[in-house]
Chain A
Amino acid sequence: MTVTLKRPAPAAPPTGAVSPFRHRLSAWDQKFSPYLYISPFFLLFALVGLFPLLYTFWVSLHDWHLLKGQGEFVGLANFTNVLQDRFFWNSLGNTMSIFLLSAIPQLIGALFIAAVLDQNLRAKTFWRMSVLLPYVVTPVAVAVIFTNMFGEDPGLINNLLGNFGIEPIKWRTDTLPSHIAIATMVNWRWTGYNALILLAAMQAVPRDIYESAALDGAGAFRRFFSITLPSIRPTMIFVIITSTIGGLQIFAEPRLFDPTDPGGPQRNFQTTVLYLWEMGFQRNNFGKASAIAWLLFLIIVIIGLINFSLSRKIASADTKKPGNRAQRRAEGKRK
Chain B
Amino acid sequence: MSLLEKGTARKDSPVSGRPARRPLRQRIFGNGLKPGYLTYGLLLAFFLGSSYPLWWSVVVGSRTNEALGLDWPPLLPGGNFWNNVSEVFDTIPFWTALWNSILISTIITVSVVTFSTLAGYAFAKLRFRGNTVLMVAVVATMAIPTQLGIIPLFMVMRTLGWTGEIGAVIIPSLVTAFGVFFMRQYLVDVIPDELIESARMDGANMIRTFWHVALPAAKPAMAILSLFTFMMAWTDFLWPLLVLTAGNPTLQTALSQLSSARYVDYSVVLTGAVLATIPLLVLFAAAGKQLISGIMQGAVKG
Residues on A facing B (Cβ under 8 Å): 1-3, 6, 10, 13-15, 26, 29-31, 33-35, 37-38, 40-42, 44-45, 48-53, 55-56, 59, 113, 116-117, 119-142, 144-149, 151, 154-156, 159-160, 162-163, 188, 192-193, 196-197, 199-201, 214, 235, 238, 242, 245-246, 249, 251-252, 255-256, 259-260, 273, 277, 280-281, 286, 289-290, 293-294, 296-297, 300-301, 304, 324-325, 327-328, 331
Contact = CB atoms under 8 A, between A and B. Distances in A.
Contacts of B154: 280-281
Interface string B136-166: 0010010111111111111110000000000
Contacts of A328: 297-298
A42 B177 CA distance: 9
B8 A126 contact: yes
Interface stretch (B18-26, B33-41, B79-87, B88-96): B33-41
Contact of B256 (A140, A163, A277): A140
Given A116-B39, A122-B9, A140-B255, A149 B152 contact: no
B46 interface: yes
Contacts of B30: 119
Given A48-B171, A331-B297, A196 B50 contact: no
Given A130-B46, A159-B71, A273 B237 contact: no
Nearest to A201: B298
A163 B202 CA distance: 78
A37 B260 contact: no
Nearest to B172: A48
Contact of A145 (B143, B144, B270, B284): B270
A120 B276 contact: no
Given A163-B72, A280-B151, A297-B148, A40 B56 contact: no
Contacts of A145: 53-54, 56-57, 270, 273
B231 A136 contact: yes
B110 interface: no
Nearest to A329: B189
Contacts of B35: 119-121
B98 interface: no
Given A130-B47, A256-B259, A35 B148 contact: no
A294 B34 CA distance: 54
A245 B151 contact: no
A45 B137 CA distance: 11
B277 A137 contact: yes
Contacts of B202: 2-3, 6, 13-14
Contact of B289 (A117, A125, A256): A125
Interface in B255-275: 255-256, 259-260, 264, 266, 269-270, 272-273
A131 B53 contact: no
A192 B48 CA distance: 13
Interface in B87-142: 115-116, 118-119, 121-123, 126-128, 131, 134, 138, 141
B15 interface: no
A38 B54 contact: no
A3 B201 contact: yes
Nearest to B264: A259
Nearest to B70: A159
Q: What's the interface size class on B, roughly?
A: 35 or more
B205 A29 contact: yes
Contacts of A193: 295, 301
Interface of B: 4-5, 8-9, 12-13, 30, 32-35, 39, 42-43, 46-47, 49-51, 53-54, 56-57, 60, 68-73, 115-116, 118-119, 121-123, 126-128, 131, 134, 138, 141, 143-156, 171-175, 177, 180, 189, 194, 198, 201-203, 205-207, 210, 231, 234-235, 237-238, 242, 251-252, 255-256, 259-260, 264, 266, 269-270, 272-273, 276-277, 280-281, 283-284, 288-289, 291-292, 295-299, 301
Given A35-B128, A119-B30, A139-B235, A200 B203 contact: no
* Residue from A145, A200, A246 having most chain B Cβ neighbours under 10 A: A145
A139 B189 CA distance: 35
23 contacts: A1-B198, A2-B202, A3-B198, A33-B207, A37-B121, A40-B115, A53-B149, A55-B152, A123-B5, A123-B8, A123-B9, A125-B289, A131-B47, A132-B292, A134-B53, A136-B284, A148-B60, A155-B68, A246-B301, A252-B237, A259-B260, A277-B238, A324-B298
A36 to B, nearest CB: 8
A107 B121 CA distance: 35
A331 B296 contact: yes
A300 B206 contact: no
Contacts of B172: 48, 52
Contacts of B237: 138-140, 251-252, 255
Q: Counting chain A CB atoms within 10 Å of each CB, which of B30, B151, B202, B251 scores highest?
A: B151
A306 to B, nearest CB: 13
Contacts of B115: 40-41, 44
A137 B203 contact: no
